[in-house]
Amino acid sequence: MTELVSKWNYPTTVRFGAGRISELPDALAAANIKRPLFVTDPGLAKLPVVASTLKLLDDAKIQYGVFSDVKPNPVGSNLTAGIEAFKRGQHDGVIAFGGGSGLDLGKLIAFQAGQTRPVWDFEDIGDWWTRADSDAIAPIVAVPTTAGTGSEVGRAGVITHEETHTKKVIFHPKLLPAIVIADPELTVGMPPFITAGTGMDAFAHCIEAYCAPGYHPMADGIAVEGIRLVFENLPKAYANGKDLTARAHMMSAAAMGAAAFQKGLGAIHSLSHPVGALYDTHHGMTNAVFMPYVLAFNRDAIEERIARLAAYIGIEGGFDGFAKAVLKLRKELGVPHALPDLIKGLDMDEKRKELIADMAIVDPTAGGNPVKLTQKAALTLLDNSIAGTVPGAAG
């Protein structure tokens, strides 16, 4: 019974449903935010969805500032600029609006603006989070506009350290937003590529959490249902971006993935993080590329679990049937099969491969992989993903 020991945390208040963005002023009041900084990405800032959201604040006579200097993979200088905007505007909270980049950076601005230590001192290592001044963390209202990262219900943010080109996971319990507005109508404008990439990110969160070792049956259950929702709804949302039912289910799957991965992630993410940091690739799509190679690598440790999963979601053939279904889903969504298909003109020499492998094995997510990720294993996975060779795959 000594193995049946764990720690469980679950999401915050989520106002879910079409049209609920209209409740943003009320959510701010509930979170005791009177002068928010609205954080989003530069592409989204130009779209009508942001204009209509800001009009809600104008109509409610809420004073706010806007910050949108956010890279697709946020970097330290983005955070520094955001903190300056937060202090300059004398803001008392953050509206984190957008996909993973806007959500993560918005959360980190609220977290870091009142700290005296550099953000890197709060990386998700041991109890480093206790170094933070909890009372100085500003409240957050999160509004996702994609269905992938689940950052809106997460207690961490990902940011790239520009000097080392490494992605860092910053953790603190109070990075969890006070209130989330999950309105699937906000995701209708997502182009197919982003729909596919963010959806596969949600899938990666669910499948890695489910396969991670340790005792967490509630996370397992959430992950399994999240995977079912992805298989049933991501192709529909990809084919018809206006399918609000499919969009809503994918928004649920994204939040479920983030709730589940408190159990752990794995080699999909630990390889994706350095590749994304070095080549600035879309995180979810990079996860999607690595997925079948990592599943094959982990097979001996997860075959029985995957067979149960496959049976639940109606896929025949156990592990092999599930692996084929993943390849089929990727193809249907236009996911690149191999790294050179994702990164055009890829020229990855042995020195660069070794660098990625070294970064992967020390990434915080590597420890959750069901099979120990050594440098040799990481190099093999890289070689397979470059060649497009999935061990054991038929055809």
In three-state secondary structure terms, 210 is helix
Q: Which of 6-10, 71-75, 141-145 is the least confident region? A: 6-10
Backbone φ and ψ of 118, nearest 5°:
-65, 150
pLDDT tens, residue by residue, 225-244: 999 999 999 999 999 999 99
- Who wins on pLDDT, 316 or 345? 316
Share of the chain above pLDDT 70, in %: 98
Lowest mean pLDDT among 166-170, 173-177, 338-342: 166-170
Rounded alpha-carbon distances, angstroms, from residue 374 to 267, 378, 392: 10, 6, 21
Show the domains of the chain with their CATH numbers.
Answer: 13-187 (3.40.50.1970), 192-387 (1.20.1090.10)
Q: Please compute the mean of the pLDDT values over residues 46-62 and round it to a whole number.
A: 97
pLDDT of 395 strictly over 60 = no
> And the tokens for 284?
């979810």
Burial of 321 by CB count in 10 Å (0-12 exposed, 13-18 middle, 19+ buried)?
middle
Report the mean per-residue pLDDT for the chain.
95
Amino acid 166: pLDDT: 86
Model confidence band, residue 3 (pLDDT cutoffs 50, 70, 90): low
pLDDT for position 86:
98
Could you give the CA distance from residue 224 to residue 308 in angstroms, rounded to a whole number?
Answer: 10
Write down the residue that tokens 């300056």 correspond to: 84
Structure tokens given for 26: 């009320």
Output b/e per residue, 132-160; b: 16+ Cβ within 10 A.
beeeebbbbbbbbbbbbbbbbbbbbbbbb
Residue 2: is its pLDDT beyond 60? no
Interval 115-132: pLDDT, tens: 999 999 999 989 999 999
Pull the structure tokens for residue 90.
């004398």
Task: Tell me if the pTM is above 0.95.
Answer: no
Across 28-37, 93-102, 156-165, 351-360, least confident range:
156-165
* In the predicted structure, residue 167 carries a pLDDT above the cut 90: no
Identify the CA nearest to 142 among candidates 182, 114, 171, 188: 182
Q: What is the pLDDT of residue 345?
A: 87
Given a contact cutoff of 8 angstroms between Cβ atoms, the answer to whether 323 and 292 are in contact is yes
Q: What is the pLDDT of residue 1?
A: 43
Report the b/e string of 242-258 with b at 16+ CB within 10 A.
ebeebbbbbbbbbbbbb
